[in-house]
């Protein structure tokens, strides 16, 4: 596959003048986005690790290199990364930046192959990859039934799922007495909730979980990426047919009813694409949020003491500080300028891909102070972009917050002597450029 831009090594600098022949006389986002670029117009390049070996070390390097950095993705595909909170905050709410992959110049030029490891996060048809009226149309179809009231009505069911999983943990112990809390608790909580919400038949859920995990992996060979995508759509097609034949009080049935009432309101491709989005995002974010929060408390005993010794409201602070300090999604694709733009004085041509590096902006000292690297649940402002903001603010954020806000304190109430079963440095990250978490979380439950 040819690179989307001229090749450069991770140690080189990238000169934007080599790819921008338009003069880049575009409007600027805001006055603060027009400051002169450093390094005399030369923008550094960093190759992002497709295995996500250390998201935070990589994020620190991105911030060190500047507010706008050229990044190399798997397959030698080039993109940009906006590493400053304020700049990213402005960009993701600016209508001059599209979420529609059909505006990506590299795809238009035929440079992105179907087996590209990140394709499952990019080349899909749903509300996340649409703009304007199309985005509002697709989002409205979900928000009509996925309401805050419905989310709150799920609370007793979520508590029951959590209690059942906690009851079963002692029986999940390995021969050394440790339990993988990610596998046996953090993962099944959101997976069971989102599958029930969308009416996924029980016999399809295990394979669906595996396929959803594959979406976020960036280390798979092209043939496995393609095979996984095909199977994802086949499985979701079966879910749609199951609910079409036997409708229930679930969101898939509601979307099918909306399509049958007005075929122009939702195509079959958009229906399946919406399921793919909601089922994948509905489990991945919460899974990693629960994992990261428990890991943070186990490795910060002072913060654990504050959380377990405080009133119930403190757990909301645990959730928000985890979202800031250890965002479940380290990097999120892509936005594409609809015209030549400048960000922090850096010219970016129309149609180039721009990454949202949530791990980097979550610890931006300009936004969070000189102690941004410190996990502190008493922090006065936990403001973060982990759920994005603006028109594309995460629709599932209330559910993720509810699930995590119930699951995390429940673990520590049930198992007050909970401890890590391995050295924190031995925890292996999820092999993903996107997901930021540990692939396992071995713990000892205590007495």
pLDDT digit string (tens) for 242-274? 999 999 999 999 999 999 998 888 999 999 999
3-state SS class at 109: coil
What tokens does 316 get?
Answer: 């909301």
pLDDT at 42 over 80: no
pLDDT at 1 over 50: no
Contact 436, 359 (CB under 8 A): yes
Sign, Cα dihedral of 355, 359, 365, 368:
positive
CA distance 427 to 295: 10
Strand partners, 98: 336
Burial degree of 156 (CB within 10 A; 0-12, 13-18, 19+): exposed
Q: Where are the domains of the chain?
A: 13-444
| Structure confidence at residue 335 (pLDDT) | 97
| Structure confidence at residue 34 (pLDDT) | 40
Alpha helices in 246-267 (DSSP H): 251-261
CA distance 355 to 71: 9
Mean pLDDT of the chain: 89
Which of 164, 158, 136 lies closest to 400 in space, CA to CA?
A: 158
| Structure confidence at residue 360 (pLDDT) | 97
Burial degree of 348 (CB within 10 A; 0-12, 13-18, 19+): buried
Query: Looking at residues 32-48, what average pLDDT do you find?
Result: 59
| Structure confidence at residue 16 (pLDDT) | 31
Q: Which residues contact 309 (CB under 8 A, 6 or more apart)?
A: none
- Segment 133-187, tens digit of pLDDT: 999 999 999 998 898 999 999 999 999 999 999 999 999 999 999 999 999 999 9
With cut-offs at 50, 70 and 90, classify the pLDDT of residue 357. very high
CA distance 159 to 357: 33
Residue 373 phi, psi (nearest 5): -80, -5
Q: Give the H/E segment covering residue 142.
A: helix 132-143
Q: How far is CA 64 from CA 194, 428, 444, in A?
A: 38, 25, 38
pTM to 2 decimal places? 0.89
- Segment 271-327, tens digit of pLDDT: 999 999 999 999 999 999 999 999 999 999 999 999 999 888 999 999 999 999 999
pLDDT at 203 over 90: yes
Query: Looking at residues 319-336, what average pLDDT do you find?
Result: 97
How many Cβ atoms from other residues are within 10 Å of residue 56's Cβ? 17
Q: Which residues contact 1 (CB under 8 A, 6 or more apart)?
A: 75, 76, 77, 111, 112, 113, 116
Residue recorded with tokens 């599932």: 396
CATH number of the domain at 13-444, out of 3.40.50.720, 1.10.3720.10, 2.40.110.10, 1.10.630.10? 1.10.630.10
Q: How far is CA 237 from CA 67, 229, 231, 256, 283, in A?
A: 42, 12, 10, 12, 19
């Amino acid at each position: 596959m040819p690179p989307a831009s001229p090749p450069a090594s991770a140690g080189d600098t990238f000169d934007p003048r080599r790819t921008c022949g338009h003069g880049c006389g575009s409007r600027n986002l805001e006055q603060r986005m027009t400051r002169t670029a450093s390094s005399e117009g030369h923008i550094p390049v960093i190759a992002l690790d497709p295995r996500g070996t250390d998201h935070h070390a990589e994020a620190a390097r991105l911030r060190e290199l500047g507010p706008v950095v050229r990044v190399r993705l798997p397959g030698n595909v080039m993109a940009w990364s906006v590493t400053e909170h304020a700049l990213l905050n402005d960009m993701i709410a600016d209508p001059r930046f599209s979420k529609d992959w059909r505006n990506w110049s590299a795809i238009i030029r035929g440079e992105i192959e179907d087996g590209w490891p990140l394709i499952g996060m990019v080349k899909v048809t749903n509300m996340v990859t649409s703009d304007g009226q199309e985005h509002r149309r697709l989002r409205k179809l979900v928000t009509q039934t996925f309401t805050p009231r419905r989310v709150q009505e799920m609370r007793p069911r979520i508590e029951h799922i959590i209690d059942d999983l906690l009851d079963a943990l002692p029986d999940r112990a390995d021969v050394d007495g440790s339990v993988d809390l990610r596998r046996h608790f953090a993962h099944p909580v959101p997976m069971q909730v989102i599958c029930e919400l969308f009416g996924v038949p029980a016999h399809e859920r295990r394979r669906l979980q595996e396929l959803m995990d594959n979406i976020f992996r960036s280390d798979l060979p092209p043939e496995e990426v393609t095979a996984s995508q095909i199977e994802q759509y086949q499985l979701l097609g079966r879910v749609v047919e199951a609910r079409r034949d036997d409708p229930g009080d679930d969101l898939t049935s509601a979307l099918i009813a909306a399509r049958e009432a007005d075929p122009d309101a939702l195509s079959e491709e958009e229906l399946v694409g919406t399921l793919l989005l909601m089922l994948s995002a509905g489990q991945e974010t919460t899974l990693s949020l629960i994992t990261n929060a428990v890991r943070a408390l186990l490795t910060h005993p002072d913060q654990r003491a504050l959380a377990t010794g405080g009133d119930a409201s403190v757990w909301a602070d645990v959730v928000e500080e985890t979202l800031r300090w250890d965002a479940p999604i380290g990097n999120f694709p892509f936005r594409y300028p609809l015209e030549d733009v400048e960000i922090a004085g850096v010219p970016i041509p129309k149609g180039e891909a721009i990454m949202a590096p949530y791990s980097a902006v979550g610890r931006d000292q300009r936004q969070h102070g000189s102690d941004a690297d410190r996990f502190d649940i008493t922090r006065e402002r936990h403001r973060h972009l982990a759920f994005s903001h603006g028109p594309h603010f995460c629709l599932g954020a209330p559910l993720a917050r509810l699930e995590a806000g119930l699951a995390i304190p429940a673990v520590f109430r049930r198992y007050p002597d909970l401890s890590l079963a391995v050295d924190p440095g031995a925890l292996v990250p999820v092999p993903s450029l996107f997901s930021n978490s540990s692939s396992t979380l071995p713990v000892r439950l205590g007495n």
